[in-house]
Homo-oligomer: A and B are copies of this chain.
Amino acid sequence: MNQAEFLKAYNKEQYDRPSVAVDLVLFTVKEGALSVVLTKRDQHPFMGMLSLPGTFVGVSESLDEAVARCLNQKMGLSDIYFEQLYTWGEVDRDPRMRIISVSYYALIPEGRLTETDKGSEIREQLYPVDALTADDTFSLAFDHKKIIAYGRERIRNKVEYSDIAFELLPEYFTLPQLQSIHEILLGKPLYKANFRKKMADRVTPTDRMANPDGHRPGRIYNKKEEATDHEKQ
């Protein structure tokens, strides 16, 4: 079978193939709680219920491009950290038709939500993750609750061996702020002295200090650049 024959035969079966969408779990930390952006569905199925923002994948865009487009069109955001989570392919996960969902999670510092026109709108779509997933009586559209729980576990694990916590903070931050993010992602308190020892070689101090109200100011740091081969020599 040559290429032309292949395409012809394949297209005949076109109507019998699944569709592909990306679904996005956009995390941020708001008021000390890990939160996720959800939109209220205005169509069947699951009309009126909360769901993850998502979009169908166009034939001439990559998966990552579809995610970037979704972030841009639905939330006016660009240059956001995101990463693929898992691909969900149960046959009946959408009651209308067969849709395979490639899920991603994204991380954004709360402050960056205001940098767009839709900022205030998005702030009102934030829901605390742990309350959401703990409540068995509360239900989300499709399998989106499961996807959020999966993403929450991923970042809980990943914060221990990677630098994702920095994606939830602005460029400049204090160590107590960084510790707070870690505690929220891990879901448990950390010892200050130990935390600082572990972070020591991942951050670089600036000569600036935070200006708090009524107590000692903390030094401002930023994330240390990864050492290049050149710098190592």
Contact = CB atoms under 8 A, between A and B. Distances in A.
Contacts of A60: 91, 98
A217 interface: no
Contact of A58 (B16, B44, B97): B16
- Size bin of chain A's contact surface: 35 or more
A3 interface: yes
A208 B211 CA distance: 70
A102 B11 CA distance: 20
Contacts of A19: 10, 17
18 contacts: A3-B44, A3-B45, A6-B43, A7-B97, A10-B97, A11-B15, A16-B59, A17-B20, A18-B20, A60-B98, A62-B90, A62-B91, A63-B89, A63-B100, A64-B89, A84-B87, A87-B87, A100-B102
